[in-house]
C-alpha cells in the first residue's frame, strides 16, 4: 500500500512532463506570432517608404533611401516611350526584398 | 518513527505541489503578457497604417490640394467643385484627434466641428513646389501634387 | 488506518486538474495571439495591394501622357475643346481620371474617383397580372 504522498508526487511528475510538452508547443506558437507581427510592421513601413520614394522621384526631389533597418534600391528602367522616365523601387530588409513598386514620370525638357 | 517519516513525505509533497502551482501561474501570466503586448503592437500598427492610407487616399481623390491655416492649426485643404459650387474638405489635427471637415467654401466653422477620424497628436504639413510633406505623429508621407494652386508648371 | 493529518494533502488528481486548466489557458492565449496577428497581416497585405494598384494605374496614365506628348494618337483618349481625357482603372471601384490641356500639357485633373456602377436594368415589378 503506497503512501498517498508518494502517489501524489508521482502523479505530479507525470503532469510536469505533460505540461512541459504543451508549454513548449505553445511557446513555439507565441514565437511564430511574434515573428509574424514583426514582419507585418516591417511590411507597413516598407510600403510607406517606397511610396514616399516614388512621389519624391516624380517631383524631381531626392528620395530617402534608408530608414531604420530598411533600405531602398532604385533601379532606373529603360522606357520605350520617349519623354517618360521609369524606375523600379525595391525595399530590402537584410537582403530580403519586401516590397516593390514601379513608377514613372514625365521627363521635363531642360 | 514511521509517522514522522510519512509526515515529512507529506510536507514534501505539499511543498512540491505549491512550487508547481506557482510555476504554472507564472507561465500563465507570462503568456497573458505576451498576448497583451502582441495586441497592443497590432493596434498601434493598425492606427499608423490606417492614418497613412487615409491621408494618401484623400490626397489622391481630391482635385486641388493646398495647405492652409484653419483656426490655429495646419489643415490640408482639398477643393472640389460640386454643382458649380466649391466645397472644401479640410483635414487637420485638433484636440488629440485627426479630423475631417467637409463644408462649403464660405462656411464659418471652427476646428471642433470636424468629424473625428482617428486619434492623433500632431499633423505638420509643408509644401515645397509640388512636393507635399505631411508628418503625422512621427510618420512622414510625401506626395507629388499634379494639380493645385502651387502645382501648375 | 485513519490518521488525523495535521496538514491537508493535495488530493489525487489535484495536480492533473491544475495542469489541464493551465494547458487550456495557455493554448487559448497562443491561438488568440496567432489569430490576431494573422488578421493584422491580412490587413497589411490589403494595404500594400492598394498602394501597388494605385501605382500601376499611375504608371499607365503616365505612359499614355508621354505618348500623347510625343504626338501619338492613343486609343481610349477623348479629346474635346482642347482637353484630352482618359481613365485608368485602379481597382474594381476606383478609377484614375486624367484631364490634360492639349497645347500646354498642363495637368487639369489627376484624380482617383470612385466608379459608380451604372445599372440600367429595370427591376421587374409585379403588377398584378
Does C19 sit within 8 Å of A19, measured CB to CB?
A: yes
Contact predicate C37/A33, CB 8 Å: yes
User: To which H or E segment does residue B55 belong?
Assistant: helix B2-61
Instruction: Please tell me what DSSP assigns to residue B111.
Output: G
Chain A nearest-CA residue for C72: A81
Residue environment code for B138-153, b if the CB has 16+ CB neighbours within 10 A, otherwise e: ebebbbbbbbbebbee
Measured CA to CA, the distance from residue C99 to residue C86 in angstroms comes to: 7
Each residue's pLDDT tens digit, B17-46:
888 889 899 999 999 999 999 999 999 999
Each residue's pLDDT tens digit, A33-48:
999 999 999 999 999 9
**Alpha-carbon distance C3 to nearest alpha carbon in chain B (angstroms):** 9
Chain A CB within 8 Å of residue B151 CB: no
Q: Which residue of C15, C34, C51 is in closest CB contact with A15? A: C15
A108: pLDDT strictly greater than 80:
no
The mean of the pLDDT values for chain B is 86
C-alpha distances in Å from residue C39, one per residue of A40, B25, C31: 10, 29, 12
**Alpha-carbon distance A24 to nearest alpha carbon in chain C (angstroms):** 11
Binned at pLDDT 50, 70 and 90, residue B79 comes out as: confident
**Alpha-carbon distance B66 to nearest alpha carbon in chain C (angstroms):** 15
Q: Cell for B44?
A: 498601434
What is this model's ipTM?
A: 0.86
Partners of B3 on chain C (C-beta within 8 Å) are 3
From chain C residues 100-129, the ones with a CB under 8 A of any chain B CB are 106-114
Does C33 sit within 8 Å of A81, measured CB to CB?
A: no
Q: Which chains touch B (3 or more CB pairs under 8 A)?
A: A, C
Measured CA to CA, the distance from residue A101 to residue A50 in angstroms comes to: 7
Block residue for cell numbers 489569430:
C35
Binned at pLDDT 50, 70 and 90, residue C122 comes out as: low
pLDDT of residue C119: 47
Does A101 sit within 8 Å of C66, measured CB to CB?
A: no
pLDDT of residue A1: 45
Partners of B56 on chain C (C-beta within 8 Å) are 51, 54
Chain A CB within 8 Å of residue C53 CB: no
pLDDT of residue B26: 93
C115: pLDDT strictly greater than 80:
no
Partners of A58 on chain B (C-beta within 8 Å) are 144
pLDDT of residue B148: 54
Helix B2-61 vs helix C14-69: angle between axes, to the nearest 10 degrees? Answer: 20
Does C22 sit within 8 Å of A104, measured CB to CB?
A: no
Each residue's pLDDT tens digit, B104-132:
888 888 888 889 999 999 899 998 888 99
Distance in angstroms between the alpha carbons of the first and the last residue of chain C: 94
Binned at pLDDT 50, 70 and 90, residue A29 comes out as: very high
From chain B residues 18-77, the ones with a CB under 8 A of any chain A CB are 20, 24, 27, 31, 34, 38, 41-42, 45, 48-49, 52, 56
Report chain A's C-alpha Rg in angstroms: 27
B10: pLDDT strictly greater than 80:
no
Task: Return the beta strands (E) in chain B as ranges.
Answer: 64-70, 73-82, 85-94, 97-104, 115-119, 123-128, 131-136, 139-144
Chain B CB within 8 Å of residue C35 CB: no
pLDDT of residue B152: 37
From chain B residues 53-112, the ones with a CB under 8 A of any chain C CB are 53, 56-57, 60-63
Binned at pLDDT 50, 70 and 90, residue C8 comes out as: low
Does C5 sit within 8 Å of B10, measured CB to CB?
A: yes
Bridge partner residues of A77 (DSSP): A86
pLDDT of residue C55: 96
Amino acid at each position: 500500500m503506497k503512501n498517498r504522498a508518494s502517489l501524489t508526487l508521482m502523479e505530479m511528475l507525470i503532469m510536469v512532463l505533460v505540461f512541459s510538452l504543451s508549454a513548449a508547443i505553445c511557446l513555439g506558437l507565441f514565437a511564430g506570432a511574434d515573428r509574424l507581427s514583426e514582419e507585418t510592421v516591417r511590411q507597413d513601413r516598407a510600403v510607406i517608404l517606397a511610396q514616399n520614394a516614388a512621389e519624391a522621384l516624380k517631383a524631381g526631389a531626392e528620395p530617402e533611401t534608408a530608414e531604420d533597418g530598411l533600405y531602398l534600391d532604385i533601379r532606373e528602367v529603360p522606357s520605350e516611350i520617349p519623354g517618360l522616365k521609369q524606375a523600379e523601387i525595391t525595399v530590402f530588409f537584410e537582403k530580403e526584398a519586401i516590397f516593390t513598386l514601379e513608377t514613372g514620370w514625365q521627363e521635363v525638357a531642360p | 518513527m514511521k509517522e514522522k517519516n510519512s509526515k515529512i513525505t507529506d510536507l514534501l509533497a505539499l511543498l512540491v505541489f505549491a512550487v508547481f502551482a506557482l510555476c504554472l501561474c507564472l507561465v500563465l501570466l507570462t503568456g497573458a503578457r505576451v498576448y497583451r503586448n502582441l495586441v497592443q503592437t497590432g493596434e498601434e500598427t493598425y492606427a499608423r497604417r490606417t492614418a497613412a492610407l487615409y491621408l494618401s487616399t484623400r490626397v489622391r481623390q481630391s482635385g486641388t490640394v493646398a495647405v492652409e491655416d484653419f483656426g490655429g492649426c495646419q489643415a490640408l485643404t482639398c477643393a472640389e467643385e460640386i454643382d458649380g459650387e466649391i466645397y472644401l474638405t479640410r483635414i487637420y489635427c485638433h484636440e488629440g484627434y485627426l479630423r475631417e471637415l467637409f463644408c462649403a467654401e464660405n462656411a464659418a466653422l471652427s476646428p471642433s466641428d470636424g468629424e473625428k477620424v482617428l486619434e492623433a497628436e500632431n499633423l505638420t504639413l509643408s509644401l515645397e513646389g509640388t512636393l507635399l510633406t505631411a508628418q503625422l505623429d512621427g510618420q512622414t508621407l510625401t506626395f507629388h501634387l499634379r494639380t493645385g494652386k502651387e502645382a501648375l508648371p | 488506518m485513519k490518521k488525523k493529518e495535521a496538514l491537508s494533502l493535495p488530493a489525487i488528481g489535484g495536480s492533473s486538474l491544475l495542469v489541464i486548466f493551465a494547458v487550456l489557458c495557455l493554448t487559448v492565449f497562443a491561438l488568440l495571439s496567432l489569430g490576431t496577428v494573422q488578421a493584422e497581416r491580412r490587413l497589411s497585405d490589403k494595404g500594400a495591394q492598394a498602394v501597388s494598384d494605385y501605382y500601376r494605374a499611375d504608371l499607365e496614365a503616365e505612359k499614355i501622357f508621354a505618348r500623347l506628348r510625343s504626338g501619338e494618337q492613343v486609343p481610349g483618349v477623348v479629346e474635346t475643346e482642347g482637353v484630352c481625357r482618359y481613365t485608368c482603372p485602379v481597382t474594381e471601384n476606383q478609377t484614375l481620371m486624367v484631364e490634360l490641356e492639349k497645347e500646354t500639357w498642363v495637368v487639369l485633373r489627376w484624380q482617383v474617383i470612385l466608379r459608380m456602377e451604372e445599372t440600367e436594368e429595370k427591376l421587374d415589378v409585379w403588377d398584378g397580372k
